[in-house]
Amino acid sequence: MDEVKYASQQNTGSMLRAESIRLFLCGDVMPGRGIDQILPHPSDPALHEPYMRDARRYVKLAERVSGTIPRQAKFDYIWGDVQAELDRAVVDLRVINLESSITSSDDYWPGKRIHYRMHPRNIECITSARISCCCLANNHILDWGYEGLAETLRTLDAAGIAHAGAGRDAAEAAAPAVFDLPGKGRVLIFSYGSPTSGVPWEWAASAHQPGVNFLEDTSKETADQIAREMRRFSPDRGVIVASIHWGENWGYKLSDEETRFAHQLIEQGIAVVHGHSSHHVKAAEIHNRHLILYGCGDFLNDYEGISGYEAFRSDLTLMYLATIDPQQGQLLEARLVPMHVERFRLNRTCEADARWLCDLLNQLGAPLGTRADLAPDHTLTLRPTGSCLKIQHSPGQ
């Protein structure tokens, strides 16, 4: 696609803004463990980790590098500047990957090194941000066992928050969260968890067992299969979002199989591929006028003060604001708002940090035919370069 054609498409997107669908997407939101401890109703801080036995120590680690963090903080504290940005963007749906169990269960999963949970009475930290959908097919949703998963589902249902990717059986785990937007159309959000992100095979939901919507591999056959399954839920061609928890925590490299898998989904009618699991921002691509996010990066976690991967700047994250044509599922605009996590709170970045993220996306996006432009307000816009629409090899660390 050349620049003139894309510019024309974006102008059309502006004219159709009232009818277009506007999505907020982000990476992993992890309100358990240390973050749970600063909220009004902290869980029992006891942990079963090899190097940390008390969740309050994660708060102390963060305070050593960033300063005092309030205790019994207001529920919206963690979202910081995000709320104002979402209100300004007037988004229709707010979608997160919720990487934490919401439970008071003490039945932790044995043999697992890390266990995330948020107390159910802290659910207002999710509702305060008016989150529309929580994707649950990830490697922490069963940290506190099957009862922990059941309580998570009950808590989200009671709070009126849609969810996808985990359930009482395979059919429920595979079912999408469905949103009918008056005057715009329907959006269906599916959630998948891959073993490449650390989702245990035994967490796969079955006909008689609760669990996650498990993505066994990223082969061509699997892409064909799940694309058919997703389209069955949307005979009227609604906008379909495939939210996938995949890949390792650290590193920029994309495998050829991953890019082929994402491309196949787009070419078979999926509007957006929403990838997450990496603790830092990875590549984004505009493929055939559709958005692919290979790794959104952690949006909020309690890793502040933990050293070892500073070069990846996991303290920097992005709000992905996608404007979608409801008829074709094509991307009209992709605006990214850089955020900085400090004191367990999301804050707008300085210009230097926004430029660092812009340069990173340009480096990673060059082989994918996608670039980022930095605006005077320190936000980014993704655009196709028009010179390379098919990936051969991806950037390595």
Which tokens go with 57? 């120590």
Q: Which residue has the tokens 């044509």?
A: 325
CB distance 188 to 233 below 8 Å: yes
pLDDT score recorded for residue 236: 72
Q: Which residue has the tokens 């309050």?
A: 56
What whole-number distance in Å separates Cα of residue 351 and Cα of residue 273? 28
Name 29's bridge partners: 98, 300
Q: Give the number of other Cβ atoms within 10 Å of residue 392's Cβ.
A: 8
Q: Can you give the pTM of this predicted structure?
A: 0.92
pLDDT score recorded for residue 59: 98
- Residue 335 backbone dihedrals phi, psi, to 5 degrees: -110, 135
Q: Which helix or strand (DSSP H or E) is residue 174 part of?
A: helix 170-174
Compute the Cα dihedral for 353, 358, 363, 364 and give only its sign. positive
Q: How big is the chain by its Cα radius of gyration, in Å? A: 20
pLDDT score recorded for residue 388: 39
Instruction: Write the DSSP assignment of 117-163 as a string of letters.
Output: EE-GGGTHHHHTTT--EEE--STTTTTTHHHHHHHHHHHHHHHT-EE
CATH code given to domain 3-384: 3.60.21.10
What whole-number distance in Å separates Cα of residue 154 and Cα of residue 319? 28
Going by C-alpha positions, the residue among 268, 303, 271 that lies closest to residue 286 is: 271
What whole-number distance in Å separates Cα of residue 279 and Cα of residue 308? 12
**3-class DSSP assignment, residue 356:** helix
* Amino acid, res. 114: I
CB distance 26 to 36 below 8 Å: no
Compute the Cα dihedral for 376, 129, 97, 186 and give only its sign. negative
CB distance 290 to 323 below 8 Å: no
Across the chain, which has 397 residues, the per-10-residue mean pLDDT values are: 42 56 97 98 96 96 97 98 96 98 96 96 98 98 98 98 98 98 95 98 97 97 97 86 97 96 97 98 97 98 93 97 95 98 98 98 97 97 69 32
Q: Is 49 left (phi over 0), alpha (psi -120 to 50) or beta?
A: beta
Instruction: Tell me the CA distances in angstroms from 150 to 41, 122, 147, 170, 202, one per residue in order.
Output: 20, 17, 5, 14, 16
Going by C-alpha positions, the residue among 40, 106, 118 that lies closest to residue 77 is: 40
Q: Which residue has the tokens 């999505």?
A: 23
Going by C-alpha positions, the residue among 318, 326, 261 that lies closest to residue 96 is: 318
Instruction: Tell me the CA distances in angstroms from 118 to 39, 73, 98, 223, 390, one per residue in order.
Output: 9, 14, 11, 34, 42
Instruction: Write the DSSP assignment of 46-98 as a string of letters.
Output: B---SS-SBTHHHHHHHHHHH----SS--TTGGGTTHHHHHHHHT-SEEEEEE
Compute the Cα dihedral for 242, 243, 245, 249 and give only its sign. positive
Q: Which helix or strand (DSSP H or E) is residue 362 part of?
A: helix 351-365
**3-class DSSP assignment, residue 73:** coil
Q: Give Cα 157 to chain centroid, integer Å.
A: 20
pLDDT score recorded for residue 237: 75
**pLDDT (tens digit, 9 = 90+) per residue, 145-176?**
999 999 999 999 999 999 999 999 999 999 99
Torsion of the alpha carbons at 355, 323, 93 and 180, rounded to the nearest 10 = -170
